[in-house]
Amino acid sequence: MNTDLGNHRYCKDNLDLGTEPVPVEPCVSPEFFEREREKIFRRLWLNVGRDEDLPRKGDYIVKDLAVGNASVLVVRGQDGKVRAFHNVCMHRGNRLAWEDKGHCNGMFVCRFHAWAFDQQGNLKHVSDEANFHDLDKATLGLKPLAADVWQGFIFVNLDPSPSETLLEYLGGLAEHLNGYPFENQPRAFKFGVDEQTNWKVLIDAQNEIYHLPYLHKRSFPVFGPRNDHHATRTLAFRRFGRHGVYSVEQEKVERPTALEKVVDILAPTTGKADQMIGWFDFYTVFPNFVIMFLGKSSYLTYNVWPLAVDRSRWEISLYGPAPKNPAERIAMEYRVTRLRDLMQEDGGNHEAIQASLSTGAITHFQFQDEEIQLRHFHKVVREEVLGPNSL
């Protein structure tokens, strides 16, 4: 597959996405944010971690999902199954688990009055039980949440009865990525940054390569094919229902820096796994999860957690084969810190964009054909919040 360097390549096959400017309001309106909370984050599947966060039976993580107004306890039970519960004691509502992650040897015991729940959520012990009135322990298990695992990625759903299973939700995206060797590439690094920006502004800033030759001219002077006007062109854009992917072909670095040359021999960035479309594939897993593949044996994920209409937490994880020797460790550090620098270049803009949007100076975004991913993403957001016939 070769990159077509022409213009208007995607709009023709995506007529429903239109070509008109896209409203800013969903990025600045507190009312719209409240509706996103209900219609998106309390209804759809959300990634909260990976299998490797719960390597042993009894391991747990706690995710405080402010946007879903929920604290979620995710635990790998003694049967190996991953379950999720509201992290709330059924007695009087105290927080049950207090650490971000930990290991439960037997029961989760509430520190308030020592009610004890097993790892399947059952209420097993009530202190001073005889003094209660008609207490039916069988009905007072922890409140469960739908949880499922796809290719090692753990998802939960805050809807008491989700309208789709996780696999139905992921649809063609899951089929497309099945078999990718995620398990051979453990998480090596994780970064987190809190920003004064809307979650969609943050994702938008990553969801195209139009900006590469400008904002990232120093960090990644070569990234993807360009036309005669020095404008980037992606290799492909595909939709999987609410989700999408864009892909970029690798461009040869003609003049690598002194260290880049050395690192590239140790840890070649060329080649791609069978499931990859190009050399860089960027999947937006609606609403707030990103999986991106970079060359043959490394990938990254983003979890972008809305905290308020104008505040978000950006969690970045980088995965790859564990280095066998110090030279490979240095090569890994090179790849990771270079991407980190690039993300800090992006981060320099997120808050400025949000501040500008909040002034009302512009009411619409202008998206070109290379930004069709953003057009798709914003359309899905508006459809989920306002209904499919509202646009």
Partner 1 sequence: MDTRLPKEFADLERFSAWILPSSSERNRKRVTSPMPELKDFYQAMIGRIDRLMEYFQQFSMEEMPQDTKRLMYLGLSLVEVAHAVERYGQPSIVDGMDPSRFKVLQEPRA
Residue 347 in contact with partner 1, rule: CB under 8 A: yes
Residue 89 in contact with partner 1, rule: CB under 8 A: no
- Using the rule CB under 8 A, give the single segment among 111-119, 137-145, 252-260, 376-384 that binds partner 1: 252-260
**Out of 345, 353, 368, 383, the residue judged to bind partner 1 by CB under 8 A:** 345
Q: How far apart are CA 160 and CA 61, in angstroms?
A: 20
CA atoms within 13 A on the CB side of 268: 7
Burial, 146: exposed, middle or buried (Cβ in 10 Å; 0-12, 13-18, 19+)?
middle
**Out of 17, 145, 188, 202, the residue judged to bind partner 1 by CB under 8 A:** 188
- Using the rule CB under 8 A, give the single segment among 115-123, 147-155, 251-259, 284-292 that binds partner 1: 251-259
Q: How far is the CB of 349 from partner 1 (least distance, A)?
A: 8
Count of residues near partner 1 by CB under 8 A:
42
Q: How far apart are CA 7 and CA 209, in angstroms?
A: 15
Q: How far apart are CA 284 and CA 314, in angstroms?
A: 14
Give 13-35 as a DSSP string: G-GGG-SS-EESHHHH-HHHHHH
What residue has token string 């984050």? 41
**Out of 71, 219, 358, 368, the residue judged to bind partner 1 by CB under 8 A:** 219
**Out of 144, 348, 360, 387, the residue judged to bind partner 1 by CB under 8 A:** 348
CA atoms within 13 A on the CB side of 103: 4
Residue 307 in contact with partner 1, rule: CB under 8 A: no
- Using the rule CB under 8 A, give the single segment among 43-51, 124-132, 187-195, 373-381 that binds partner 1: 187-195
Beta strands at 243-248 and 280-285: parallel, antiparallel or unpaired: antiparallel
Q: By the 8 A CB rule, do 115 and 127 touch?
A: yes
- Cα first-last separation, the chain: 35
Look at residues 113, 120, 77, 79 and name the one whose alpha carbon lies nearest to residue 96: 113
Residue 258 in contact with partner 1, rule: CB under 8 A: yes
- Using the rule CB under 8 A, give the single segment among 18-26, 118-126, 299-307, 321-329 that binds partner 1: 321-329
Binding map of partner 1 across residues 147-186, x = CB under 8 A, - = no contact: ----------------------------------------
Q: By the 8 A CB rule, do 247 and 280 touch?
A: yes
Supply 319's token pair: 């995965």
Residue 189 in contact with partner 1, rule: CB under 8 A: yes
**Out of 25, 159, 333, 383, the residue judged to bind partner 1 by CB under 8 A:** 333
**Out of 103, 143, 338, 379, the residue judged to bind partner 1 by CB under 8 A:** 338
Q: How far is the CB of 255 from partner 1 (least distance, A)?
A: 11
Please report, as ranges, the residues that interact with partner 1 according to CB under 8 A.
187-194, 215, 218-219, 257-260, 262, 266, 315, 317, 322-327, 329-330, 332-334, 336-338, 340-341, 343-345, 347-348, 350-351
